A and B are shown apart, each in its own frame.
Chain A
Amino acid sequence: MKVLVPIKRVIDYNVKVRVKPDNSDVDLANVKMAVNPFCEIAVEEAVRLKEAGVATEVVVVSIGDKKCEEQIRTALALGADRAIRIETEVALDSINIAKLLQKVVEEEAPQLVILGKQSIDSDNNQTGQMLGALTGMPQGTFASEVKVEGDKVNVTREVDGGLQTVALNLPAIVTTDLRLNEPRYAKLPDIMKAKRKPLDVKAAGDFGIDLSPRANVIKVTPPAERSAGIMVESVDQLIEKLKTEAKVIS
C-alpha cells in the first residue's frame, strides 16, 4: 500500500519563542527550524510499515515556501521514497491545508495517510481530522499503536482516561501521538541519497481552491509573567507558607 505523510516545518521545539515588539506575531527571523516532532513520528511510522512489508511506497508532502524543502529532505533521508511540495508564500489555515491535502489524496490514492496530531507552533490539532472529513475517510487520532490487518487498520488511541482501540476501514487517516515510536536519526549516506530522490513542486494556486484566510490574527502578545517566587529552607517552612501565606492547604 501507498502511505502519504504530510509534514510541517516549524520552529525547533527547544527554542523559547519571542513575541515581536509590534505584537503582530512571534519573531521567526534567524530562529532554528525543524520538522514538527509529531510529523517526524509520522514519517518514522510510515518507514517502519515499509520495512515490515506492509507499505510499498512512502510519499511525503509539505506545504510552504522553498525553505521547507530542507525538512522534506530530512524526511527523505529518514526513508521516504519521494516528495511533493505545494508552493505557497503565506501561512494557511488548517481548513485550507486540509483542502490542498485532499487534492493530493485524490491524485495519489494512498491507503493510509499519517499526520502528526498537532504542530507545536499553532497547536491547533485539526488538519488530520479535517482531511478525514473531506475525503470521507475514518480517523485514528492520537495514535500510540497502528496495526494494518487486511482491509482494516487497528489504531490504539491515547484518550483522557487511558487507551482506546478502534478499527478503521482502509483507506484511513492516522494522527500520531508521542508514544507511537521513537524516530531514528538520518545517517550521512542516507542524507546524500535523499538529495537525489524525486521532489515535485506544485503551486497552491493551481489546485483551484479558494485559499483566502478564515481568521484574522488581531494581535499576538507574550503570556502574563508569573511573579518571582521564593525559596524555602525546609519542609516545615514550605507547609507553613502554604497554610498561612498561600492558604491553599489547611
Chain B
Amino acid sequence: MILVYAEHDNSSLKAETLKTVAAAQKIGGDIHLLVAGHNCGAVAEEAAKVSGVAKVLVADNAAYANQLAENVSLLVTELAADYDAIIATALTTGKNFMPRVAALLDVAQISDIIGVESADTFVRPIYAGNAIATVQSLDAKKVITVRATAFDAVATDGSAQVVALGQATDAGISSHVSDELTESERPDLGAAPVVISGGRGMQNGDNFKLLEGIADKLGAAIGASRAAVDAGFVPNDMQVGQTGKIVAPDLYIAVGISGAIQHLAGMKDSKVIVAINKDPEAPIFQVADYGLEADLFEALPELEGKL
C-alpha cells in the first residue's frame, strides 16, 4: 500500500498531486491519499475524484492549518506503519516535512524522482540535472518525493472512499506567523503549458511588463532567472532553476537569459524551447529549438503585436 500526500492550500488540490499519484501507480499497490489541513473539506472532495485512489484520509485539524513540518511529519509517521511507501510531491511543502518523516522512520529518502524502474528502484537527477542516477533503495519502507513534471497527470473520474482521521499531533515547537503570497491571475508556474521567462537582459522590473502582453495571449505563466530575482526585478517565487521551480511546459520562451547550468536545470525538459537573446554565443542557444538573435526590446513588442 502506498500513502500519497496531497498538496493543497486548504481550498483546492494542486495539479501536481495528480502527477504524483501517477508516479505511485508505477510503483504499484493500493493508493491512499492523505489530506492534512484545516477546513479542507473542499480539498477532500476533489481528492476523492482522483483516479486510481482507493481511499482518501482526511486529517482536518488546526494543527495542520499551515502544514508545519513538525506537526505533519508526526502525523505521517504515525500513519506510515500501514504502508510500504510514503510519497509526496517535491514542492516546498513535501520537501520540508518528508525528510523528517524519513528520519523518524529511520530510512533514507529518495528525493525528486523522475522515473520508476521497479518498486525499489528509482531514477533521479543529480548535479543540477547534468547526470541521472538510478538508485535502489535498501530500506523496507520507501520515502520518496516526486518531480511532478516528469509524470503525466491521472484523470479525475474516480470516487474514492473518504475517511476522517481523528489525529491532532501538535509538536508545540513551532507556529505560523504570516504569509506573504504573490497574487497572480496567471496560471501556476509549475503547471502552465507555456512559460515565458526573463533574465538579466530585461534590465529592470518594469520591463517585465513586456512579457505580460505575450503571456496573456499565450495563456502563459511568467518566470525568471536567478539573475533577475537577485537583481530585485521580480519576486523569488518566479525563479526557474536548480534551486527554484522545475518546469517542463510545452513551450518555454527564454528572454534575455544566458542559460547558466543552474537555470537549465529547471527548464531543459520543456518540449519546445525558444531563446531570444542578442548574444549569439549565449549557452541558451545550445538547448533552444528555435533561437532568435535580437534585441528583446524590439523583438518582444513585435512578437506581442503579431500573436
B-binding residues in A (CB < 8 A): 11, 13-14, 16-17, 19, 26, 38, 93-95, 98, 117-118, 120-134, 136-139, 141-142, 144, 154, 157-169, 177-179, 213-223, 226, 228-232, 234-236, 238-239, 241-242, 246, 248-249
Contact = CB atoms under 8 A, between A and B. Distances in A.
B96 interface: yes
Given A218-B135, A238-B303, A168 B174 contact: yes
B111 A123 contact: yes
B271 A248 contact: yes
Contacts, number: 256
B182 A129 contact: no
B51 interface: no
Nearest to A225: B287
Given A215-B137, A222-B132, A161 B292 contact: no
A177 B131 CA distance: 23
B237 A216 contact: no
Given A159-B237, A248-B194, A220 B175 contact: no
A94 B109 contact: yes
Interface residues of B, number: 89
Contacts of B107: 95, 214
A127 B276 CA distance: 39
A200 to B, nearest CB: 25
Contacts of B182: 161-162
Contact of A230 (B237, B245, B289): B289
A139 to B, nearest CB: 6
A124 B109 contact: yes
Nearest to A171: B173
Contacts of A11: 127
Interface stretch (B67-75, B155-163, B201-209): B67-75
Pick the 6 closest A-B CB pairs, nearest first.
A129-B99, A214-B108, A133-B103, A130-B103, A138-B174, A126-B99
A141 B290 contact: no
B100 interface: yes
Contact of B303 (A125, A137, A142, A235): A235
A239 B306 contact: yes
Contacts of A166: 66, 68, 174-177
Contact of A161 (B70, B181, B218): B181
A248 B179 contact: no
A213 B138 CA distance: 8
B272 A242 contact: yes
B62 interface: no
Contact of B132 (A131, A134, A220, A232): A220
25 contacts: A13-B262, A17-B131, A95-B102, A120-B127, A123-B112, A127-B99, A130-B99, A133-B103, A141-B69, A160-B92, A162-B235, A163-B180, A166-B68, A179-B230, A215-B135, A215-B137, A222-B132, A230-B289, A231-B290, A238-B292, A239-B303, A239-B307, A246-B251, A248-B194, A249-B251
A12 B289 CA distance: 29
Contact of B103 (A95, A142, A158): A95
A144 B244 CA distance: 13
Contacts of B167: none
Nearest to A130: B103
A234 B290 CA distance: 11
B196 to A, nearest CB: 12
Contact of A133 (B100, B175, B307): B100
Contact of B245 (A160, A234, A235, A246): A160
Interface string B246-266: 000011000000000110000
B133 interface: yes
Interface string B93-137: 101111111111011111110000000010001111111111111
Contacts of A246: 251, 272, 289-290
Contact of A232 (B139, B174, B261, B292): B292
A182 to B, nearest CB: 9
Contact of B125 (A123, A125, A157): A123
B69 A221 contact: no
